[in-house]
Structure formats: structure tokens, C-alpha cells
Chains A and B, each alone.
Chain A
Amino acid sequence: DQQVKQNSPSLSVQEGRISILNCDYTNSMFDYFLWYKKYPAEGPTFLISISSIKDKNEDGRFTVFLNKSAKHLSLHIVPSQPGDSAVYFCAASDGGSQGNLIFGKGTKLSVKP
């Protein structure tokens, strides 16, 4: 059973609009959440993270929101740009498993000009 779920395999958005990528988790012990971005033929790269003591973290055009009661987080990209087209992975950590992250299956974002 998946502990981290990204239920939308793909998302298409117009340039300049908002992209919202969603992620759900089941383990209440998770205390850090990370988003990774992956371009074709490259490894995933870290994008933004949030601690469970916060409900929002912002970095430029990227904002991650965390709803602990719903066990749900989302990544907002505003405004979306064609260069944001990539696969986005949500990952979670319980902080105590010696560095292990649990990844979702990813959502492929396409931003159309």
C-alpha cells in the first residue's frame, strides 16, 4: 500500500496560470515533506520542503501548503512557465529512518505557451 499518493498522473496548464499539484499521505508520523522536480534524462532535483510544524512555505513562484488534519499537501506554481514542464514527485520523511524518503509516483506537469 502506498504511504504517499499522487492521484493525478498528469496535469496540463496554460502559461501564466496557476499549477496545483496534490499529494496525500497516510502515515501520521511523517514530519517533513519535500517536492522534487524531474526533467527527462536527469535525476530528480529538490524543489521545496515543509516541516509539519508549518502549514505553508514559500519560495519565489513555488508555495507548498500542508493540511495535517487531512494528511494532504499541495504545491502551487504561480505563474506557471513552460520551463516548469516536468514530473513532480512528492516525498515524505519521518525524520528518524536514517535518511529514508517515501516517494509518490509523480505528476507530469505540462505548461503550454
Chain B
Amino acid sequence: DAGVIQSPRHEVTEMGQEVTLRCKPISGHNSLFWYRQTMMRGLELLIYFNNNVPIDDSGMPEDRFSAKMPNASFSTLKIQPSEPRDSAVYFCASSLYRADNEQFFGPGTRLTVL
């Protein structure tokens, strides 16, 4: 099992550019989560999907952020336009819904917006 796959691992872009982060969850998992990690806020949940349907996007900071899950094996997180304060590590996680809700994380994408 390859685990959760994220791409790219690192992204450096200029302010105002569009950024797209990608995630492939573990096969068979029915929930997918996008998190952002910063020193100030720790690990913040941005949005999560269950069976490809967005359940809670209250953590999405602004309209500049959007996420899609067109099928069970792929999700994207898009920032348009990007700003320097979006610089962070973005994690994708997936889980097979069960009582303890254990989630499996990808390696993360380190985003730097100049």
C-alpha cells in the first residue's frame, strides 16, 4: 500500500499566482481531509469529504481557497490568487470511517508564496 500520496512535495510561487495541490487517498478509504499546518495555528482542518461529498468547509480561510473531489481516488486544493500568508505545509489525510476515526496522512506539500 503506497499510503496517501501528495504532489507536489514543495511549491514556490509568486504572490497572485494560482496554486493547485493534489492528493490521492488510500484505496478504499471513504473520507478525505485537507489540513494546513503553521507555527501559530498548529494543524488546522480546512475541509473534509465523505464519499466524495464536501461535509464541512468551515475551515477554508477565504474564497480564494477551493477544494474538489471528482472521484474517490483524487482531490485538489486550489488557492487563487495566492498570498504570502498562505505559506504553510498542507496535509491531506484519508480514513475508512470507523469509531476511532484514525486518519492516515500524506507527506505534505510545503508551499512558499513569495
The closest CB in chain B to the CB of A32 belongs to B100
Distance in angstroms between the alpha carbons of A41 and B106 in the assembled complex: 11
A76 within 8 Å of B by Cβ?
no
Number of B residues with CB within 8 Å of any CB on chain A: 28
Contact (Cβ within 8 A) B43 A34: no
B13 within 8 Å of A by Cβ?
no
Contact (Cβ within 8 A) B43 A100: no
- Chain B 82-114, CB within 8 Å of chain A: the 1/0 string? 000000000101010101111111111010000
**Residues of chain A in range 82-105 having any CB-CB distance to chain B below 8 Å:** 89, 93, 95, 98-105
Q: A99-B31, A105-B41, A106-B42 are in contact. Are A44 and B91 (CB under 8 A)?
A: yes
Among A12-20, A45-53, A64-72, which stretch is in contact with chain B?
Answer: A45-53
Please pick, from A31, A49, A103, the residue contacting B102 in the complex, using a CB distance under 8 A.
A49
A104 surroundings in chain B (CB, below 8 A)? 42
B55 surroundings in chain A (CB, below 8 A)? 98, 100
* 21 cross-chain CB contacts under 8 A: A32-B99, A43-B108, A44-B105, A46-B104, A95-B101, A98-B48, A99-B30, A99-B31, A99-B33, A99-B48, A99-B50, A99-B101, A100-B45, A100-B55, A101-B45, A103-B42, A103-B43, A103-B45, A105-B43, A106-B42, A106-B43
